[in-house]
Chain A
């Protein structure tokens, strides 16, 4: 009985000690560079979107983890916009962003292939907060404040 217990313990210990998550030191060093602060991560396969702060300003950043390069997002980070939440599709082509602009909080979709943002209206109106895109970037879930409580809306995208 003691032998069986010892064997079981050994198996359990072996099972716990192997197969551990390992930090991606190479990429974590890259993520620390160039920004003072980084938050709101979104992983879409090889694509990593987040909100990075540098020089006192927060911007949406997209990094290709395979090539370790920052991807330009022309037309997205407007000087008068403050990003709140970001989500990237699995192919890295679409980013959903909640941002504050001109005293208004809005939900926008950014398409990299045309380098343009499209505002997505909420119906009934509400204040968006947190957003999530599916892998294809064709469906979106967004947390919306309405009448003093949080809802989740689903939106199909063209």
Chain B
């Protein structure tokens, strides 16, 4: 291939990489909102917004903009640091219990709420739920420093996988 053509193709590729992003929408709600978290599928958004002066997690379906109720998180404000699994089945957040902060994972499919108390009675500051909900990362304060701890949730929660992803199954033996 001639060298000028190669350079032209490379330039076109670079221009494509640097193209401007398409805006999907501006401000979503009329009220102030913070700590956005997209589901792995990109179809759900959780934010923290003020509800009656109390920071509360709100979940929104992006296809039609509708707000979805999460009854398990109607109390224990202030809420912070929401995080969603792939299809939005699980919503993790930090809640208030008395004088302590407590991370919880809500299962929107069956309505259960799973508290995730930290060893040593430490308070979580921020969290991130893995897209398949099989582990969670919790930021805590430890001796004046930030630290992140990973918890395995595979005994607690069913995986929330992308649609169409095959489950691992035992290999079939080729022998009779």
How many of chain A's residues touch chain B, expressed as a range? 35 or more
In the complex, whether B21 has a CB less than 8 A from a CB of chain A is yes
A155–B62 CA distance with the chains assembled, in angstroms = 12
A40–B149 CA distance with the chains assembled, in angstroms = 11
The distance from the CB of A152 to the nearest CB of chain B, in whole angstroms, is 5
Q: Which A residues, 120 to 158, have Cβ-Cβ distances below 8 Å to chain B?
A: 120-121, 123-124, 129-136, 138-143, 146, 149-158
Given the known A-B contacts A154-B23, A154-B62, A155-B24, are A21 and B136 also in contact in the complex, defined by CB atoms under 8 Å?
A: yes
Is the CB–CB distance between B148 and A23 below 8 Å? no
Closest to B19 in A: A158
Given the known A-B contacts A41-B138, A151-B27, are A134 and B38 also in contact in the complex, defined by CB atoms under 8 Å?
A: yes
Q: Which A residues, 17 to 52, have Cβ-Cβ distances below 8 Å to chain B?
A: 18-24, 27-28, 31-32, 36-45, 48, 50
The distance from the CB of B100 to the nearest CB of chain A, in whole angstroms, is 17
In the complex, whether B35 has a CB less than 8 A from a CB of chain A is yes
A46–B153 CA distance with the chains assembled, in angstroms = 14
Is the CB–CB distance between B42 and A136 below 8 Å? yes
Q: Which A residues, 73 to 131, have Cβ-Cβ distances below 8 Å to chain B?
A: 90, 111, 114, 116, 118, 120-121, 123-124, 129-131
A20–B152 CA distance with the chains assembled, in angstroms = 9
Q: For chains A and B in complex, what number of residue pairs have CB atoms within 8 angstroms?
A: 167
- Enumerate chain A residues within 8 angstroms of B156, measured Cβ to Cβ: 19-21
Is the CB–CB distance between B155 and A19 below 8 Å? yes
Is the CB–CB distance between B145 and A111 below 8 Å? no
- Enumerate chain B residues within 8 angstroms of A158, measured Cβ to Cβ: 16-17, 19, 21-22
- Number of B interface residues in the complex (CB < 8 A): 57
Is the CB–CB distance between A22 and B155 below 8 Å? yes
- Enumerate chain B residues within 8 angstroms of A140, measured Cβ to Cβ: 21, 38
Is the CB–CB distance between B24 and A139 below 8 Å? yes
Is the CB–CB distance between A21 and B116 below 8 Å? yes
Is the CB–CB distance between B131 and A45 below 8 Å? yes
B35-46 CB mask vs A (1 if < 8 Å, else 0) is 111111110010
Q: Per a CB cutoff under 8 Å, which of B16, B34, B139, B147 touches A143? A: B34
The distance from the CB of A88 to the nearest CB of chain B, in whole angstroms, is 9
Given the known A-B contacts A31-B150, A39-B146, A138-B42, are A150 and B26 also in contact in the complex, defined by CB atoms under 8 Å?
A: no
B126-145 CB mask vs A (1 if < 8 Å, else 0) is 11111110011111000001
A107–B146 CA distance with the chains assembled, in angstroms = 23
The distance from the CB of B120 to the nearest CB of chain A, in whole angstroms, is 11
- Enumerate chain A residues within 8 angstroms of B17, measured Cβ to Cβ: 111, 114, 116, 118, 158
Given the known A-B contacts A132-B36, A132-B37, A139-B42, are A153 and B150 also in contact in the complex, defined by CB atoms under 8 Å?
A: no
Task: For the complex of A and B, list the 8 residue pairs with the smallest distance between their C-beta atoms, beginning with the closest.
Answer: A134-B42, A135-B40, A41-B137, A141-B36, A39-B146, A139-B42, A24-B150, A154-B24
Known: A36-B145, A38-B148, A118-B17; 5 extra A-B contacts, CB below 8 A, are A18-B155, A28-B150, A135-B42, A153-B23, A158-B19
16 contacts between A and B (CB under 8 A): A19-B155, A21-B114, A21-B136, A38-B139, A38-B146, A43-B137, A45-B130, A129-B34, A138-B42, A139-B24, A142-B36, A143-B33, A151-B28, A151-B32, A152-B47, A155-B23
